[in-house]
Amino acid sequence: MEKLWGGRFEKNTDSLMEDFNSSIGFDKKLCHFDIVGSKAHATMLAKSGIISDKECKEIVDALMEIECEIESGKVEFSTKNEDIHMNIEVLLTNKIGETGKKLHTARSRNDQVALDLKLYSRDAVINIQELLKQWIKTLIKVSEDNIDTVMPGYTHLQRAQPITLAHHLMAYAEMAKRDYLKLSSWLDIHDTNPLGSGALAGTTFEIDRQYTTELLGFSSPTLNSLDGVSDRDYAIDLLSNASVGMMHLSRLCEELILWSSQEFGFVEIDDAYSTGSSMMPQKKNPDAAELIRGKTGRVYGDLLSLLTTMKGIP
């Protein structure tokens, strides 16, 4: 199969290299955002007179069909097509022929992936904020029910002063509120559209970046094409905010683990969120809390991995 980038190449790619070079196993989760970006790009190309309205409709309708086919499990992605962008373009061309190839006009996989990741991250931020609102409301509800529930307050794990359970839990509501506000700041800082940056220096086609910006719901286009395609600060900032949020959850989980022990005996975690022992049937393990505490390390690791990756990219 001829590669999208295969113009100067005379030999076929070795199958070992195809497997090694392929990212479809990871970036297939970007398929919805890749299609959203492609629909906006095609619409802009038609508005700018680069493709016809008929071609635009054919492309957009086919992309919608492809998304439905992906969601229904009818599509099997290929490592030969490397990534989600080429997989979808091949599906599109197979469906509508030569018109499908026009979708790549004035666009590179560089600004495609930058856009897909930005849209994916923005969607994640909005979803996390919704979960944080639910989390804060739950903490407030449990606190309201326990305004008069007295418990010891600790320093150095030594009993220090009497407090209420409500006061203790509302400390976590304050943490969650800060997590929410940091994500709101993320939306303000990173609400820019990289599409149109091309591979690194834009395109000679007279495209309308402001129009795709409006279609995709961004505040403005990125101002520098080099930064537009190479910026991953938004992913680092999201992982940084997520790491702090997971730290807050892990602190509470550590307390629940302590509180549910016989030594403390403050709480009993519901059977639905506990596990037992195959050897010691008397045990009831706070596994939900333990797993959240453990998974916090994954988020920290992702942050450090991305920082380490980015530091060496000129």
In the block, tokens 């307050």 appear at: 153
For residue 275, list its beta bridge partners. 285
Catalytic residue among 15, 184, 277, 305: 277
Pinpoint the alpha helices (H) of 48-108: 53-71, 84-96, 98-101
CATH number corresponding to 110-310? 1.20.200.10
pTM for the model stands at 0.92
The answer to whether residue 143 is catalytic is: no
Q: Of 304, 285, 286, which is closest to residue 296 (Cα–Cα)?
A: 304
Other Cβ atoms within 10 Å of 112 Cβ, number: 26
The answer to whether residue 250 is catalytic is: no
- The CATH architecture assigned to 15-105 reads Orthogonal Bundle (1.10)
Burial class of 59 by CB neighbour count within 10 A (0 to 12, 13 to 18, 19+): buried
Domain ranges of the chain: 15-105, 110-310
Catalytic residue among 108, 156, 274, 278: 156
In the block, tokens 């070992």 appear at: 16
pLDDT (tens digit, 0 to 9) for every residue of the chain, 314 residues total?
A: 555 655 666 777 777 887 787 999 999 999 999 999 999 999 999 999 999 999 999 999 999 999 999 999 999 999 989 999 999 999 999 999 999 999 999 999 999 999 999 999 999 999 999 999 999 999 999 999 999 999 999 999 999 999 999 999 999 999 999 999 999 999 999 999 999 999 999 999 999 999 999 999 999 999 999 999 999 999 999 999 999 999 999 999 999 999 999 999 999 999 999 999 889 988 999 999 999 999 999 999 999 999 999 999 99
